[in-house]
Chain A
Amino acid sequence: MVLKASAAFGVIGLLIVTAGCGASSNSAQGFTSSSSKEKPAITLTNASYDPTRELYQEVNEAFAKYWTRETGQDVSFDQSHQGSGTQARAVIDGLKADVVTLALSPDIEEIAKSAKLLPEDWQKRLPNNSCPYTSTIVFLVRKGNPKQIKDWEDLVREGVEVITPNPKTSGGARWAYLAAWGHALRKNGQDEAKARAFVQQLYAHVPVLGSGARESTTTFMQNGIGDVLLSWENEALLAIKKTGNDQVEIVTPPISILAEPPVSVIDKNASAHNATEAAKAYLQFLYSPEGQQIIAKNYYRPSEPNYVDKELLKQFADVKFFTIDEVFGGWKQAQAKHFSDGGTFDFIQEANSAKK
């Protein structure tokens, strides 16, 4: 009996050992192939934000072909997607990203400031404030728009439930917050107090604050919660396409914010593994006709629309844009005033929860 028992134990032990050998020999193979010296193949790590998964999947494939054609060097990608702020934090903590493609410039600013991995004037290095594409904030509503939501004011009507992520953690949510604020300022003759009252009212209509754009999209689309989702335009177009969901439709408000998600090489990481040249070319590629076409295909507004098929441009509705520089005096100021601890957003949240 004891003999049988120890035999059974031996078999389990053997299983564990063989699993271990299999795994470790596999990983050993991985190491040798990536460091093989016959071809100086290169791996670029792109740390990006949440909704760009599909975009960069396509960009990476196209760039790999382009780069091999131009230089004979093979390039592959390690791609990472998390909330924009989380991603910036990871790069600061040592995620070896060669390039970052994030949702807002303060996140890259933070990497430059606290980890000093790139120069502070990074945003001047590429055209269009280092934004190869832009987007905006639109409304996603239920089929047939039963609550008749057409403009920002409709969001605060009685009985309307608004879904948007938490501006503290989500880049897209910050753009949405600022879009609402910008609208209210314009409508109320630049009256700050009235703008704040409007935004406060808006957040009183939000039943759950998700942590990221994708989470909120799923809340709205899959779980069927809420009447309207404040969404990245690209995310809304993609969500409808990807899920084949015909139970929702997009409403583009007459006025919204021009969302500018920037990109940059992380100089120190890229040079540490001799990838500077490829990393720079990768970001340049986003501005090329081929890159711009891929960008438009993935529902981002191209920074060079003349490179893109007219048909593709039709999916973007006409919106009157305001920029963060015009209305808020740039990200630094907007960040400090609205989203820092004890900022306006915190004030609004406290005021709303006190009312409940």
Chain B
Amino acid sequence: MELALTTTGFEASNWAHARPRLKAATEEKPWVRLACITVTVLFLALLLFVPLASVFAEAFREGVRVYFASFSDRYAIAAIRLTLLAAAISVPLNTAFGLTAAWAITKFQFRGKSLLITLIDLPFAVSPIVSGLIYVLVFGMQGWVGAWLSEHNIQVIFAVPGIVLATVFVTFPFVARELIPLMQEQGTEEEEAATSLGASGWQTFMKVTLPNVKWALLYGVILANARAMGEFGAVAVVSGHLRGKTNTMPLHVETLYNEYNFVAASAVASLLALLGLVTLAIKSAVEWKVRRDYEAAAVSESS
């Protein structure tokens, strides 16, 4: 069953090395190979590693104590809390949505399906600024429902609900995007078999579908989480930059930077960078796990 993970176009590159090792694809001369590798490594070093390392260097410039002091600041704690809250709401919400959407799209036949798939991708396609602005246009005082909300003392934008909404919007496609191609590939035979053996819809989902997609689901959740915590543009538009109230971690980095507080800005930025590295580590672990399962399956098949 894990075999299916290697199929879809979008993930193909991610999962490619889950396959057994192939022989060198071409017979290039050694110097060509060397040149290609050198260029790639140089490129990565210049554009990725050096800037990333400089964030950590700047963060620790005034010592470990100053570094950790950056996180005990009241506003920093509030920013970290808000970021966790936004992720804690948006990730489960989008996990549920992603599962529902993928289930609907892959197991049922209905008209307008491809339009629905396209719509799910919308947050990928529009600029984050637009993602924020749409909520201002709807919930702002000059917007559709802003005046009504204000009369009833409900604050959406420039408050925590706005931050959460914007985060949900930008992380919308991640889980569904991972699941749909995989579930399409798997088809409905296993579910049909389960149903014909008398399983209820819920049982079929829990015992057949979910185990089949768990790794893709986990992968989608990881990506959604990383984006939820790192989002800047959409959140900046609806935040109002109220320190200690609507500043998320990325916005807090900007605030600190603008206050000439480069060390603290880098310290908070390094925390975000660490989050990215942890995401990468989990992702690699998942891939490693999948490869091992695949090899185990291959061995048992051939014997």
Known: A5-B214, A16-B225, A94-B146. A27 touches B242 (CB 8 A): no
Report whether over half of chain B's contact residues are helix, strand or loop; otherwise say mixed: helix
Among B256-286, those with CB < 8 Å from A are: 257-260, 282
Distance A330 CA – B160 CA, assembled complex (angstroms): 39
Given B92, B143, B242, which contacts A80 in the complex, CB threshold below 8 Å?
B242
B232 within 8 A of A: no
Provide the A45-58 mask, 1 if CB < 8 A to any CB of B, else 0: 10100100110000
Distance A336 CA – B12 CA, assembled complex (angstroms): 57
Query: Which chain A residue lies CB-closest to B89?
Result: A20
Among B224-248, those with CB < 8 Å from A are: 225, 240-245
B150 within 8 A of A: yes
B187 within 8 A of A: no
Query: Which chain B residue lies CB-closest to A4?
Result: B289
Provide the A81-101 mask, 1 if CB < 8 A to any CB of B, else 0: 110000000101111100000
Given B141, B244, B260, B296, which contacts A92 in the complex, CB threshold below 8 Å?
B141
B155 within 8 A of A: yes
Distance A8 CA – B244 CA, assembled complex (angstroms): 35
Looking at B19-27, B80-88, B122-130, the stretch in contact with chain A turns out to be: B80-88
| Contact indicator B211/A2 (Cβ below 8 Å) | yes
| Contact indicator A5/B160 (Cβ below 8 Å) | no
Given A6, A79, A239, which contacts B242 in the complex, CB threshold below 8 Å?
A79
| Contact indicator A23/B85 (Cβ below 8 Å) | yes
Distance A47 CA – B245 CA, assembled complex (angstroms): 13
Given B81, B260, B289, which contacts A5 in the complex, CB threshold below 8 Å?
B289
Residue among B81, B89, B296 having the largest count of chain A Cβ atoms under 10 Å: B81
| Contact indicator A23/B84 (Cβ below 8 Å) | yes
Q: Which residues of A contact B245 (CB under 8 A)?
A: 78
Query: Which chain B residue lies CB-closest to A45?
Result: B242
Provide the B137-150 mask, 1 if CB < 8 A to any CB of A, else 0: 00111110010001
B121 within 8 A of A: no
| Contact indicator A96/B155 (Cβ below 8 Å) | yes
| Contact indicator B81/A93 (Cβ below 8 Å) | no
Report whether over half of chain A's contact residues are helix, strand or loop; otherwise say mixed: helix
Query: Which chain A residue lies CB-closest to B261?
Result: A242
A312 within 8 A of B: no
Q: Which residues of B contact A80 (CB under 8 A)?
A: 240-243
Q: Which residues of B contact A115 (CB under 8 A)?
A: 141-142
Chain A residues within 8 Å of B, Cβ to Cβ: 1-2, 5-6, 8-9, 12, 16-17, 19-24, 26-27, 45, 47, 50, 53-54, 78-82, 90, 92-96, 114-115, 214, 218, 239, 242-243
Chain B residues within 8 Å of A, Cβ to Cβ: 81, 84-85, 87-89, 91-92, 136, 139-143, 146, 150, 155, 157-158, 160, 211, 214-215, 217-218, 221, 225, 240-245, 255, 257-260, 282, 289, 293, 296
Given contacts A27-B81, A95-B158, 14 further A-B contacts (CB under 8 A): A5-B293, A12-B282, A19-B88, A20-B92, A24-B88, A45-B242, A53-B258, A54-B259, A78-B243, A79-B242, A80-B242, A81-B255, A90-B158, A239-B260
Give 8 CB contacts A-B under 8 Å: A5-B214, A5-B289, A8-B289, A16-B88, A27-B160, A54-B259, A81-B258, A94-B141
